[in-house]
A and B are shown apart, each in its own frame.
Chain A
């Protein structure tokens, strides 16, 4: 099995070869099994620099590398130095057709595929410099479009919100029997966020499921000017994405006070309560001090409770913010509220009863 492709020079990108002008390479014919097609191939290994302790090996055979237009060592695209999936995704976005590098599942098929002389997926484009340049040109125009009309993307989100609304309606039906009043009771919804509040813990809500915890942690630690890793546990964060809310607890009440002072933006609800606002990406997270503290159980013990809690909080937000808010979220929530009024007046009444006394307490 000494075929010619194995005798061709290896396809290795410059990043793998390192900055040295001389690279001393070792060649071992039939030295290894290709990770993609499982056939033996001529293995090359080398050190990127004389001092480095790492031996870089070719992991896939030259044939598989040519088919995918990737480096044999790092398996990144030879032209753009990006992973294959990302490249295919990019190209399919630009050309508006589905480009995927299909990989065979069973061993026989893997070998068969590797012996064919084809270019797979995005390799057809990136292996040809002219085509790749065309793609880059198209990319440019797409990006310009994206930056110039950001409204269109907002429209998209609005569309998403519409479909969310339908789902939410379904969820309310589904989880109507779930009772979360005992959880809501413990959440400090009647508290007001002021800059001189002294509390170690804060309740966060209106957290979209797409916001990862680390983003919230980052923005809080940035606000307080602390580094997350070096200080270990100066803040602990629990986000329940199903319940769309969470809590943050600081190590000391000092930090809590600092946090309350640093949160500049606040909004006033219809009931005259203040809510701190944390801006992350496009969304706003509302903050309320939580003097009694919290645990993971504060957001519901089961998934059903979590989801129900998120629905109730959504409804509450609709009530709090009213229609004067320009954010689409509030708008869509308002719509839901109207729908609710038509469909289930009883639930609506029960809810408003629950929230009203609390508000009254506050005004007193």
Chain B
């Protein structure tokens, strides 16, 4: 028996990180399906990319493409450019650009999540805008009001082409496919409703997994139904509502409490830092904008009243902004002509002299 040097080497030989290779082209462009879905109505609405005037037909299908996390991920142009967002087509397993894609081609990990954290309040991990409320069917991009890390996985029967499996087998299949896409918090399969709930560690992972697993099959290559997988209907992956279980509610409360405690610590640290190191810089950098922002009518502030310099503080755009601010201030004293005067002054500045509907 040969001595084994270290565990790392042993593992390193089998698996490689996505950072060591370039992303693969998942599909050739010529093989991509038409962007127009199969005709189910009389007229095609190019805005919604849907057929209308008809029965609608069944829109559920099994995607012919699937993301294979290990072989597909790799470096792209986006990695060089410091891109934050992931490629939606990569998640669906159908990016035809490969390493030339300007979005990221790998599974979101801790680093990505921390980089994304500033944006994820309003954008999902693919850079799409979130909405105030969930869609009625809980599908889609999701809401910016709730930090939802839990996915509802339905349509399991259709994704298995009605293959009869034991509940534990289904659970392990769900666990297998979802655990490749991010750190799992918990998975629960509800056998009498034949649906599963998958909770991730990060919301970004949930967003990614939602797109990656929608309309996918749960069949494996070894199943005899594999060849007919497209006859089934894929998984339905949606956002989950809150768990009604009292124990889960209690857990959620605890989690929130912990999160706010952590935030308290961070806030205090930040305020301590601010009070120590902004005092000298405040005197050093007495920007003109500062004065103006003080002179503004109450209730009006350009930005937060932090001691750092204001966002637009010098240069051409800034000066015009200051001009308009000054005029605004004057206008505030003379309430009657305030709106007209300020709008006139604003539309003079180069910052805002783009055409608008008023000018047309």
Bound CA span A324–B193, Å? 44
- Check B351–A9 contact: CB distance below 8 A: no
Q: Which of B50-58, B234-242, B302-310 has 4 or more CB atoms under 8 Å from chain A?
A: B302-310
Give B162-219 interface residues, CB cut-off 8 Å to A: 166-169, 171-172, 175, 179, 183-188, 190-191, 199, 201
Q: How far is the CB of B352 from chain A (nearest CB, A)?
A: 4
Distance between Cα atoms of A305 and B80 in the complex (Å): 51
Report whether B201 and A89 are in contact in the complex, using a CB–CB cutoff of 8 Å: no
A85 touches B145 (CB 8 A): yes
Residue of A with least CB distance to B271: A136
* In contact, A234 and B131 (Cβ under 8 angstroms): no
From 282 to 312 in chain A, residues with beta carbon under 8 angstroms from any chain B beta carbon are 295-297, 301-303
- In Å, the complex CA distance between A28 and B271 comes to 36
Binary A-proximity of B317-329 (CB < 8 A = 1, otherwise 0): 1100100110010
Determine the distance from Cα of A85 to Cα of B148 in the docked complex, in whole angstroms: 13
Q: B33 on the interface (CB 8 Å rule)?
A: no
Chain B residue with Cβ nearest A59: B122
A residues near B84, Cβ cutoff 8 Å:
54
Please state if A231 and B15 are interface contacts (CB–CB under 8 Å): yes
Cβ–Cβ contact B354 & A26, under 8 A = yes
Contact B167 A139 (CB under 8 A): no
Q: Which residues of B contact A242 (CB under 8 A)?
A: 188
Q: Does A95 contact B (CB under 8 A)?
A: no
Nearest-Cβ distance from residue A31 to partner chain B, whole angstroms: 8
On whether A214 and B304 interact (CB within 8 A), knowing A73-B122, A74-B122, A93-B257, the answer reads no
Flag whether A4 is at the interface (Cβ < 8 A).
yes
With contacts A15-B118, A23-B312, A230-B17 taken as known, whether A296 is within 8 angstroms of B185 at the C-beta atoms is no
Contact B311 A14 (CB under 8 A): yes
A80 contact set on B, CB distance < 8 A: 267, 270
Confirm or deny: A347 has a beta carbon within 8 angstroms of a beta carbon on chain B. Answer: no
Q: A241 contacts which of B131, B188, B343 (Cβ < 8 Å)?
A: B188
A45 to B306, CA, bound (A): 23
Q: Does B284 count as interface, using CB distance less than 8 angstroms?
A: no
A93 to B261, CA, bound (A): 9
A22-B316 contact given A139-B268, A297-B166, CB 8 Å threshold: yes
Please count how many residues in chain B sit with their CB below 8 Å of the partner chain's CB atoms: 94
Report the minimal beta-carbon distance from B290 to chain A, rounded to whole angstroms: 14
Interface residue ranges of A143-166 to B (CB < 8 Å): 143, 146
- Give 9 nearest A-B pairs by CB, closest first: A214-B183, A27-B352, A297-B168, A212-B185, A22-B315, A78-B304, A17-B311, A296-B172, A296-B168
Q: Which residues of A contact B (CB under 8 A)?
A: 2-4, 7-9, 11-15, 17, 21-30, 35-36, 53-54, 59, 66, 73-76, 78-80, 82-86, 89-90, 93, 103, 129, 136, 139-140, 142-143, 146, 209-210, 212-214, 217, 224-226, 228-234, 236, 238-239, 241-242, 251-252, 254-255, 258, 295-297, 301-303
- The interface of chain B, by Cβ under 8 A from chain A, is 4, 7-8, 10-12, 14-17, 70, 81, 83-84, 102, 107, 109, 118-119, 121-122, 127, 129, 131-132, 144-147, 166-169, 171-172, 175, 179, 183-188, 190-191, 199, 201, 247, 251, 254, 256-257, 259-261, 263-265, 267-268, 270-271, 299-306, 308, 311-318, 321, 324-325, 328, 338-339, 342-343, 346, 351-352, 354, 356-358
